[in-house]
């Protein structure tokens, strides 16, 4: 598995929420200044090539659905962060949060 770009992750977040949908269904919940339909369609096809998404065809239309769960991706990203920034140590990650005053844990509860 490889990390997603910001645009790919935004689309995956939507697909995880809606579970399946056509490109128009992915565009609907996006905030204003939405990307073009063709841009979203291209990103979804990239996600399919990367193994995150599959589709069911209805003639020329495709209904997309995630084949990598949000939990699977979350686990991958957290492990990658731990390995890359905290020497695979959860204790070092905890210490980081404890020491960084700009990260107030109470505001995230």
How far is residue 65's CA from residue 6's CA, in Å, rounded to a whole number? 19
State residue 15's pLDDT score: 98
pLDDT at 95: 85
Question: What is the 8-class DSSP label of residue 59?
Answer: T
Question: What is the pLDDT at residue 105?
Answer: 58
Q: What φ, ψ does residue 61 adopt, rounded to 5°?
A: -90, 150
Q: What's this model's pTM, rounded to 2 decimal places?
A: 0.83
pLDDT of residue 17: 97
**Each residue's pLDDT tens digit in the chain (109 positions)?**
899 999 999 999 999 999 999 999 999 999 999 999 999 999 999 999 999 999 999 999 999 999 999 999 999 999 999 999 999 888 888 888 788 777 665 665 5
What architecture is the 6-66 domain classified under in CATH? Orthogonal Bundle (1.10)
How is the chain split into domains, by residue range? 6-66, 70-102
39/70 Cα distance (integer angstroms) = 23
Which residue has tokens 């090539």?
A: 49
């Amino acid at each position: 598995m490889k990390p997603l770009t910001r645009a790919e992750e935004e689309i995956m977040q939507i697909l995880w929420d809606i579970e399946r949908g056509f490109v128009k269904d992915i565009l609907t919940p996006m905030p204003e200044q939405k990307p073009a339909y063709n841009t979203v369609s291209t990103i979804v096809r990239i996600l399919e090539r990367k193994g995150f998404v599959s589709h069911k065809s209805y003639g020329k239309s495709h209904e997309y659905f995630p084949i990598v769960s949000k939990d699977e991706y979350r686990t991958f990203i957290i492990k990658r962060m731990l390995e890359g920034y905290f020497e695979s140590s959860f204790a070092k990650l905890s210490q980081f949060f404890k020491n960084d005053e700009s990260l107030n844990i109470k505001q995230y509860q």
